[in-house]
Amino acid sequence: MKKIPLLLVSCLSGLTALQAQNDYTAAYVDLGRQSGVLYQPVRETPKAGIGIIVMHSHQDYLNFIANAELAKRGYTVLATLPDQTELLENKLLNIKNAVDYLRSREDINRVLLLGHSGGATVMTAYEYLAENGRKGLEGKLYRDYSSRIDNLPEADGILLFDANPGLSTVMLNSLDPNVTDESTGFQAEGPYSYDNEREYMRGQQARYNRLVKSALERLQLIQAGKGRFADDEPLVIPGSNSIRFYNKLYSSNTSLLHHTKGVWPLIHADGSVTTDTVYSVRAPFRPSDRTELLSAAQSMTVRGFLSSFAMTVDDDYEVLPDGFRGIRFDSNLTSPIGNIEGIRIPSLFMGMTGSYEYLTSEAIYNHSPAKDKTLVFVEGAGHMFVADKQAEACNQADYGDTVKNMFDYADHWLEERFCPGGTPPCKETPIVSITKP
C-alpha cells in the first residue's frame, strides 16, 4: 500500500465535506518525487478532458480555491507542490512532471497552466523555456541550467490570476534600504524613510543591485572551484522577506499602483461588465520594518537567488501610479512580465482590484505576443479572489460574490476556446470517460 504523507492526509480530509456538495472528487496522485492532488468532476462531460495544472512558487496549493471552483465547473485540475529550495530549475521540473502526468492520461486532451501570485513567475518561466528552448536563456543574468530543462513539453494555454510582478520585483519592493551590513539585520536608524519615497526607492535599487553584483561574483568563484562549497553557497538576506506584510511603500500609499494605463473590462458585483480605466480599491496598511527579526530575512543560496530573484534594475527605478519604471523584466526568468514575451499560447490574465498586485495583469498583457489573449479585472476581489472586506469597509461598498463572477468568466473563456460549439478537442469523444487515479 502506498503511504500518503501526513500533510496530504490532513489536506484531503478537509476536502471531504466540499466534495459532497460541489460535485467533484479529490484524490492523491503520485508524480514521482512530488505530491499531487487530482480534482475531477463527478459529472462526466467533455470539459473534463481539459486538464489544468496549479502550482505556486513556494506555497502549498493542494487545497487552493481555484482547484474546487474549476472542478465544479467540469474541468480536471492537478494541484502539485513546488520544490522547497529557491532553485528555479527544480520548480520547472515539478511542472514538467505534472504536464507529463496529464499528457499520459487517455481522458485528457488539453493541458493548461494556472499561475497565481508567485506561481505566475514559475508557470511563465516554464512555458517560456518550453516554447523557446535553451536559446531563450541568451542574455539572461542566470543561464546555468542543466540539460534537464531541455525539451520541456508545451502547454495548450495559460491562466494568470492576480499575478505578482515577479519574485525578483517583489523582493526589490520589499527590501529595507537602510541595511548596509548584509551580515546582520541589526542597524542604526538609516537615512531612508517613507517621508521621501523617491529617495527610499533609490536606496532599494542601490541595495538590490549590490546584492545581485555580489551574488554574480560569488557564482564565478564557485564555478572556478574557489567558493565555500563546490556547487553552491548559503545566502541570508536581512530585511528582504517578500510576503505581503513586508512589501514597502505601495502597501501604505494607495496612490502608487493606483490605476491602469488603458481601458479594460471590469466585472462588477452584479456580474455586469464595463470597459474603462480600472482603479485600485485596496485598503492601505502599514508594512513591517522589523529588519532585525530573522523572520524578516530570506534564507537561500547564491544560485537560488540568481535563478529566482535576480534581475537588472536601472537608476531611474520608480514605483508609479500606473506601474513600474526602470526594471528590465526580460533580464532573467524571474518575472512573468518578461517571461510572457516568449509565450504565444492562448492566455487569460485576470487582476483583482482589491489587491495591489492587480496592475501586473495589464503589464503582462501589454508584453504578451499571443494572438489570443484576454485581460479582465474583478472589482473588489482580494488577492485570494474573495471580496476584500477591508476594501469594502474602506470604500463603503459591497463587491458581491467575486469568486463566482471570476470563475464563471474563466469558465466561459475556456469553453469558448477549447469547446467552441462542441468541436474538438472537447468532442473528440462525445463524453469523456473519467479515469480514476
Residue 76 lies in a domain: yes
Which residues are CB-neighbours of 16 under 8 A, at least 6 positions away? none
Omega cis (within 30) before 425: yes
Report the pLDDT value the prediction gives residue 430, as an integer from 0 to 100: 40
Contact between 231 and 89 (Cβ < 8 Å) = no
Cβ–Cβ < 8 Å for 425, 49: yes
Query: Cα 321 to the chain's mean position, in Å?
Result: 22
424 contact partners, CB below 8 Å, separation of at least 6? none
Give the Å distances, CA to CA, from 237 to 63, 181, 187, 289, 293.
30, 10, 14, 14, 11
Q: What is this structure's pTM?
A: 0.92
* Within a domain: 334: yes
pLDDT of residue 47: 95
Residue 116 domain-assigned (yes or no): yes
Domain of 30? Answer: 6-169+328-422
Query: Does residue 19 lie in a domain region?
Result: yes
At 421 the pLDDT is 58
Report if residue 317 sits inside a domain.
Answer: no
Residue 55: CATH number of its domain:
3.40.50.1820
Whether 335 is covered by a domain: the verdict is yes
∠ CA 372-373-375, rounded to 5°: 155
Q: What is the mean pLDDT of each run of 10 residues along the chain (437 residues)?
A: 41 48 87 93 92 97 97 97 94 97 96 97 98 97 96 98 96 92 81 91 96 97 97 95 80 94 98 98 86 90 97 97 98 98 98 96 98 98 97 97 98 90 49 52
Cα 381 to chain centroid distance, Å, stands at 17
Does a structural domain hold residue 259?
Answer: no
Task: Domain count for the chain, please give it.
Answer: 1
Q: Is residue 26 part of a domain?
A: yes
